[in-house]
């Protein structure tokens, strides 16, 4: 645990007294308490925008970095530029240290409020705040890590050295002998389980000291998820604050997670041309399209996902009825009219409550309604087993190094980043649209993938509307 000797051994003097007794004695925090201090409206906006720059830089680094070191460098540079947070052992004046910590604290809570508005925004914020905490924890020295673990109250059960044999048997050989091990429920470290970096035994995972960041991030994610839900409920009460609401809305609109609206006009695609456009589909739609051609049928989840996607790329209602009737060629006209045509008209706002349904976003496809046996909807990067995903990418003519990299990203849970790499690999192979700008942020919608693949949009950001 943290002590004076450790701090000095890390190189530097211990915290100045003024810092130790201040509102922010430690640099890293789990943001458990909201700030109780006054902030001017200018600071409110500047702080939040600076933090947003950092979160977007992390998103960008996950997309573009060439390896772990490059990713760390990119994130550290963004932090230094927009949200520096020096240690107690830096030689900076206490006043500056306090100002940095105040900005970090306040900006987190402003964005928490701004991003609590919708599930999609919450998910974006959660993802990159977790990545930020993980980065800072990894870059911190031993003393700071111990301080944060202490304040986080993780309730870890240390496996005594003498009992490791008894608890783990032969599996103990997986770890180095002197490494401390902590026993936790496996759900707390799914990331490590997926990467086979821990031994599982009777529902418990044995986490080595070196991987403790995964536990910390899990705990942070749980707490922040709950806090965002509370914020979302409180948000309507702020609707009348004319100074803050526009600022908060502006913040969240600047994340690349707003709903994607294609500029393609209805009628741009005919029933006859759908099949020839399949090569421009993202993997989720390629899979649904291939299954439809093979089985002449799709279950409800697949029909909704593919049907609204086709609507989004410009298939009109009349052409959609022709297309689906032809595809479902093993049933009678009567069966089609009674069982399926209503749904198609419904998707186009011609039945029921006549809502004009939008195509599904990646977030919705990845996070809701997972496919069961016999279903083909969902996101292959999220829902396919690794072998099946690699086969699908090979089938789309990707080179081995691309397949490896994309499959690794998917295995690490970066589904939309993996999909964006897929898009980039496709764009590289296409002489007809060479020079098309690579996406500057992960793909957020299958329709955005299609538009970029066909060259219908020049820049993804131009099509992202609030």
Retrieve residue 248's tokens: 């908060």
Instruction: Work out whether 149 is an interface residue with ligand SF4 (CB under 6 A).
Output: no
Which residue has 């890390």 as its token pair? 10
**Candidates 85-93, 151-159, 204-212, 412-420; binding stretch for ligand SF4 (CB under 6 A):** 412-420
Edge to edge, the sheet with strand 204-208 lists: 157-158, 181-185, 204-208, 199-201
Instruction: Work out whether 441 is an interface residue with ligand SF4 (CB under 6 A).
Output: no
130 labeled part of a ligand binding site: no
Footprint on residues 255-314 left by ligand SF4 (CB under 6 A): 282-284
Closest to ligand SF4 by CB, 44 vs 449, is 449
Closest to ligand SF4 by CB, 348 vs 415, is 415
> What is the closest distance, in whole angstroms, from the C-beta atom of residue 74 to ligand SF4 in the complex?
22
Closest to ligand SF4 by CB, 145 vs 382, is 382
Site pattern 372..401 for ligand SF4 (x: CB under 6 A) = -------xxx--------------------
**Residues listed for the chain:** 466
> What is the closest distance, in whole angstroms, from the C-beta atom of residue 419 to ligand SF4 in the complex?
3
Chosen residue from 207, 443, 457, 464 binding ligand SF4 by CB under 6 A: 443
> What is the closest distance, in whole angstroms, from the C-beta atom of residue 187 to ligand SF4 in the complex?
24
Chosen residue from 102, 191, 449, 453 binding ligand SF4 by CB under 6 A: 449
419 labeled part of a ligand binding site: yes
> What is the closest distance, in whole angstroms, from the C-beta atom of residue 409 to ligand SF4 in the complex?
11
> What is the closest distance, in whole angstroms, from the C-beta atom of residue 117 to ligand SF4 in the complex?
22
Closest to ligand SF4 by CB, 64 vs 72, is 64
Retrieve residue 222's tokens: 């749980």
**Cβ–Cβ < 8 Å for 309, 285:** yes
Q: Judged by CB under 6 A, how many residues of this single chain contact ligand SF4?
A: 15
**Cβ–Cβ < 8 Å for 82, 100:** no
Chosen residue from 415, 453, 463, 464 binding ligand SF4 by CB under 6 A: 415
Closest to ligand SF4 by CB, 125 vs 449, is 449
Q: What would you measure as the largest C-alpha separation in the chain, in angstroms?
A: 83
Closest to ligand SF4 by CB, 28 vs 365, is 365
> What is the closest distance, in whole angstroms, from the C-beta atom of residue 214 to ligand SF4 in the complex?
24
> What is the closest distance, in whole angstroms, from the C-beta atom of residue 360 to ligand SF4 in the complex?
8
> What is the closest distance, in whole angstroms, from the C-beta atom of residue 333 to ligand SF4 in the complex?
32
**Cβ–Cβ < 8 Å for 418, 390:** no
Site pattern 152..181 for ligand SF4 (x: CB under 6 A) = ------------------------------
- Minimal CA–CA distance to 358: which of 350, 367, 369, 347? 347
Retrieve residue 336's tokens: 């089609």
Burial, 186: exposed, middle or buried (Cβ in 10 Å; 0-12, 13-18, 19+)?
A: middle
Chosen residue from 416, 436, 456, 463 binding ligand SF4 by CB under 6 A: 416
> What is the closest distance, in whole angstroms, from the C-beta atom of residue 439 to ligand SF4 in the complex?
11
Q: Which residues of 147-171 are buried (b: 16+ CB within 10 A; e: fewer)?
A: bbbeebebebeebeeeebeebbeee
Q: How far apart are CA 143 and CA 156, in angstroms?
A: 18
Site pattern 347..376 for ligand SF4 (x: CB under 6 A) = ---------------x--xx----------
Instruction: Work out whether 463 is an interface residue with ligand SF4 (CB under 6 A).
Output: no
Q: Which residues are annotated as a binding site?
A: 284, 362, 379, 419
Q: Which residues are annotated as a binding site for [4Fe-4S] cluster?
A: 284, 362, 379, 419
Binding site for ligand SF4 (CB under 6 A): 282-284, 362, 365-366, 379-381, 415-416, 419, 443, 446, 449
């Amino acid at each position: 645990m943290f002590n004076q000797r450790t701090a000095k051994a890390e190189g530097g003097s211990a915290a100045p007294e003024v810092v130790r007794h201040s509102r922010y004695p430690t640099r890293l925090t789990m943001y458990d308490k909201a700030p109780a201090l006054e902030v001017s409206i200018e600071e409110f906006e500047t702080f939040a925008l600076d933090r947003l720059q950092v979160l977007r830089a992390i998103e960008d680094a996950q997309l573009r970095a060439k390896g772990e070191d490059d990713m760390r460098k990119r994130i550290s540079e963004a932090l230094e530029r927009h949200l520096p947070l020096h240690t107690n052992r830096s030689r900076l004046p206490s006043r500056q240290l306090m100002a940095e910590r105040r900005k970090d604290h306040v900006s987190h809570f402003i964005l928490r409020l701004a991003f609590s508005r919708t599930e999609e925004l919450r998910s974006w914020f959660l993802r990159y705040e977790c990545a930020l905490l993980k980065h800072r924890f990894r870059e911190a020295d031993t003393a700071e890590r111990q301080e944060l673990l202490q304040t986080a109250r993780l309730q870890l059960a240390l496996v005594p050295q003498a009992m490791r044999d008894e608890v783990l048997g032969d599996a103990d050989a997986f770890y180095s002998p002197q490494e401390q091990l902590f026993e936790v429920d496996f759900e707390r470290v799914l990331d490590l389980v997926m990467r086979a970096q821990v031994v599982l035994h009777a529902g418990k995972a044995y986490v080595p000291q070196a991987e403790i960041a995964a536990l910390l991030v899990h705990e942070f994610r749980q707490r922040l998820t709950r806090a965002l839900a509370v914020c979302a409920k409180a948000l309507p009460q702020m609707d009348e604050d004319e100074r803050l609401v526009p600022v908060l809305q502006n913040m969240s609109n600047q994340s690349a997670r707003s709903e994607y609206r294609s500029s393609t006009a209805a009628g741009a695609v005919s029933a006859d041309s759908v099949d020839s456009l399949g090569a421009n589909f993202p993997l989720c739609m390629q899979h649904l399209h291939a299954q439809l051609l093979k089985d002449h049928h799709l279950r409800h989840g697949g029909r909704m996902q593919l049907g609204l996607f086709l609507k989004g790329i410009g298939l009109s209602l009349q052409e959609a009825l022709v297309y689906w009737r032809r595809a479902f060629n093993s049933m009678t006209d009567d069966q089609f009219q009674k069982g399926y045509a209503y749904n198609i008209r419904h998707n186009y706002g011609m039945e029921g409550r006549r809502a004009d349904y939008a195509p599904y976003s990646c977030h919705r496809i990845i996070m809701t309604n997972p496919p069961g046996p016999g279903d083909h909807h969902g996101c292959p990067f999220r829902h396919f087993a690794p072998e099946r995903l690699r086969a699908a990418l090979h089938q789309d003519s990707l080179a081995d190094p691309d397949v490896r990299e994309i499959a690794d990203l998917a295995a690490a849970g970066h589904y939309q980043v993996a999909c964006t790499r897929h898009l980039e690999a496709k764009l590289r192979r296409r002489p007809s649209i060479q020079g098309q700008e690579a996406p500057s942020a992960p793909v957020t919608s299958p329709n955005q993938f299609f538009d970029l693949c066909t060259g219908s949009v020049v820049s993804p950001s131009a099509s992202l509307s609030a």
